[in-house]
């Protein structure tokens, strides 16, 4: 069973806030013994872990194939709110192969995040 997935971020506060808007709950926000900021979010049954490491942090690949996928409720309203908050929509709302509403946005580091309506079908 997967425990967590870990990423590097340029701005831990912005990243924790962004994933909080998607339903994530911050479980840890601390500084490691090495001096890195570390944040852990619970997002459904899984965890996302982010490290803010100074100087030369690797950037995420811009292709949609590398992404985090998140089930959300009320995707259309959430997408409008994210857009108003200045979040970049990288792939507009469309139906997923399973018939659910789906869109892609960029997190504060430019990482692709797939938003998939949690309910059955589309609305």
Domain shared by 71 and 30, yes or no: no
Give the tens place of pLDDT for each residue, 4-29. Answer: 898 989 899 999 999 999 999 999 99
| 87 in a structural domain | yes
**pTM for this entry:** 0.81
Domain shared by 72 and 113, yes or no: yes
Domains in the chain, number? 2
- The pLDDT, as a whole number, for residue 94 is 94
| 9 in a structural domain | yes
Nearest Cα residue to 105 out of 58, 68, 52: 68
Whole-number Å distance between alpha carbons of 27 and 41? 5
For residue 25, give its domain range: 5-52
- Residue 43 CA, chain-centre distance (Å), reads 9
| 58 in a structural domain | no
């Amino acid at each position: 069973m997967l425990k967590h997935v870990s990423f590097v971020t340029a701005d831990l506060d912005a990243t924790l806030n962004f994933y909080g808007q998607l339903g994530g709950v911050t479980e840890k926000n601390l500084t490691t013994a090495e001096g890195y900021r570390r944040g852990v979010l619970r997002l459904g049954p899984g965890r996302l872990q982010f490290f803010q490491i100074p100087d030369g942090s690797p950037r995420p690949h811009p292709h949609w194939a590398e992404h985090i996928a998140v089930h959300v409720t009320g995707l259309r309203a959430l997408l409008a709110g994210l857009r108003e908050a200045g979040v970049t929509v990288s792939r507009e709302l469309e139906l997923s192969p399973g018939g659910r509403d789906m869109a892609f946005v960029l997190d504060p580091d430019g990482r692709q995040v797939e938003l998939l309506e949690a309910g059955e079908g589309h609305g």
